[in-house]
Chains A and B, each alone.
Chain A
Amino acid sequence: MARTVAVAIIRMLVTVFLAVAFVFIILRVSGDPIRALLPLDAPEDLIEATRVEWGLDQPLHVQFAAYVGHLMHGDFGRSLNDSRSALAIVLEKVPATLLLMGTGLVVSLLLGTTLGVLAASHRGTLIDRLIMTNAVLVHSVPSFLLGIVLILLFAVGLGLLPSGGGPSLAHLILPASVIGLSHAGVVARFVRSSTLEVLAQPYIKVASLKPLPRWYMIAAHVLPGTALPLLTLIGFSLGAMIGGAAIVESIFAWPGVGRFLVSAVARRDVAVVQTIVILVAIMMAFANLLTDFLYLLFDPRLREERRSA
């Protein structure tokens, strides 16, 4: 167990380092942060002075070494925008993003699992085809389009919900629906195929002969078999979801990390972008570790293998 954790941590550190280096180079090569920061008509000597003040006059590798050195001491740098600690600003936005993504994830799991099981248990019928067609549809519609459609419908047209802002429950509904819907499609397709696989198992045939209520059959025998592959899917799609959050947050002006990331990239605010990248990498590594543990929790055979290894 200790080894698993150690390996996970090393893997995470390597990932974080690579991501940090990559983002650093891309942001520095693709544009000048000072020009993005200062007004267009700023005098040359002010630009030069600011550049020296932020250490941007040094060669790239020196800047990078200095940055990594600071990181080692837990110093994430300061935002170019308002000179506040990058970590503090980013952490302020984390709860809103977690709320949005968590709600979206729950919506997609509830919706996707229900529809997937429904489609599988009505395999080949109209219900099955209807669910699957719609699953492909919501998944292939880009989330910005889905977002705009929902805004036009519920905010502009019906005037039921706010089109953007927050964070509050009313503001949460539309963006969470966009995230939930577009992922529900993937989840539904995935759950359908793994449910069909489980339904073909001999133990399902045997269990179906027992006098058990239908809901119990599904909850106790079918769903646990589909939970493991679903965990893997969630682990994989977390990255896509975080990327999607940036878009959705921007459309709905949701005050989270994603929207902040977009504006920070535009400003070439390296410290902020890097802080977000590091947080995301840590979160992903943590999610991977969690997936591993949940696997062990679900499958007694794996548990034993692990113990004897």
Chain B
Amino acid sequence: MSLMSIDNLRVRFPSAAGTVFAVNGVSLSIEPGEILGIVGESGSGKSVTCQSLMGLLGPRARASGRVTYDGRSVEIGEIVALRRAGGFPAAMIFQDAVAGLNPIRTVGSQIAEVFRYGRGLSPAEAGRRTVAGLAAVGIRDPEQRVKAYPHQLSGGMNQRVTIAMALAAEPRLLIADEPTTALDVTVQAQICALLRRLVDETGVSVIFISHDLDLVTEFCDRVAVMYAGAVAEVGTSRQLKEAPRHPYTRALFAAIPGHRPAFSTLEEIPGEIAIQGAEPTACGFAPRCARVTDLCRREIPPLMAEGAGRLACFNPH
């Protein structure tokens, strides 16, 4: 049974200038101990999908859809209450780790407070767990590092700190929104290796958003490809790399000259990124698709089980 599944998530942002339809019927699921990658070009709704799970959309957003966690199903609007009540142990880390840490508090105190006030441990026990937590994310000299302030640590170190902070609450689902984008390649690889090790050791599931297609197919168990607020294709990394079915997925891989860098070269897919100013009524990729049919312009392709994966295309490869 899946650890968590999202069913038909829709998010729009109404405003005076017009409504943005950011997410248009996303369905996804993640297994225990799995790393699920989400890729897709800028604006495709990756972050909004994950933010809606954590209740980070802000007051203007209108969201609908259901989330099932551990066999219990709630409307997306109730997910925060469920998490607060302990029924949805999820945590999230972000691209800019330094900005996510309080600049006037030591990193140790920001981890320890989770043990102390979130889980009711004694100060001494919280301190011990904090040091152990830093050691677990590969920070050397953790007894010294607990006293450091965020600005005294490197970007990679701070990202390790935020991972330790997220894990302090013992989540079963860790959402990582481009956690390595701001880091150089070596550090990026270290953080990915760390996440993999933590998954193996603790059984936590990870949703890993990235722009780096190569990284994702190398590092994640399964990958979901998003386009214009919808899931185009889901499959194992190997499936997607070796036999992509959706024309968009295929274009993505074709757009990687020598397989790196990834999305910066996306212009090579002909056509413009769709701006979702209206409720979609057709396949979002149709205007740019080489295999487009009449049906693609009339109807939204449903996301159907397709072999071991899922596919939303009327005319796949």
CB pair A202–B117 under 8 Å, yes or no, is: no
- Does B4 interact with chain A (Cβ within 8 Å)? no
CB pair A210–B103 under 8 Å, yes or no, is: no
Q: Which residues of A contact B86 (CB under 8 A)?
A: 211
- Which of B104, B105, B149 lies at the interface centre, i.e. has the most chain A CB atoms within 10 A of its CB? B104
Choose, from A138-146, A217-225, A253-261, the stretch at the interface: A217-225
Give complex CA distance A301, B149 in Å. 8
DSSP class of A's interface residues: helix, strand, loop or mixed? helix
Give complex CA distance A263, B262 in Å. 80
- Does B258 interact with chain A (Cβ within 8 Å)? no
- Does B224 interact with chain A (Cβ within 8 Å)? no
Give the distance to chain A from B42, nearest Cβ to Cβ, in Å.
Answer: 19
Q: Which residues of B contact A298 (CB under 8 A)?
A: 104
CB pair A203–B169 under 8 Å, yes or no, is: no
Q: Which residues of B contact A209 (CB under 8 A)?
A: 54, 56, 91-92, 166
CB pair B100–A216 under 8 Å, yes or no, is: no
Q: Which residues of A contact B162 (CB under 8 A)?
A: 206
CB pair A301–B165 under 8 Å, yes or no, is: no
Can you list 16 A-B pairs, Cβ within 8 angstroms, ordered by A? A202-B99, A203-B100, A206-B94, A206-B100, A206-B162, A206-B165, A209-B166, A210-B113, A211-B114, A211-B119, A212-B117, A224-B105, A299-B104, A300-B103, A301-B104, A301-B149
Instruction: Give per-residue flags for A284-299: 1 if the beta carbon is below 8 A from chain B beta carbons, else 0.
Output: 0000000000000011
Interface size classification for chain B = 20 to 34
Give complex CA distance A183, B92 in Å. 41
CB pair A206–B104 under 8 Å, yes or no, is: no
Please pick, from A206, A220, A224, A301, the residue contacting B113 in the complex, using a CB distance under 8 A.
A220
Give complex CA distance A227, B297 in Å. 57
Give complex CA distance A207, B94 in Å. 12
Q: Which residue of B lies closest to A205 (CB)?
A: B56
- Which of A203, A207, A212 lies at the interface centre, i.e. has the most chain B CB atoms within 10 A of its CB? A203
Give complex CA distance A221, B165 in Å. 15
Please pick, from A212, A224, A299, A300, the residue contacting B114 in the complex, using a CB distance under 8 A.
A212
Q: Which residues of B contact A224 (CB under 8 A)?
A: 102, 104-105
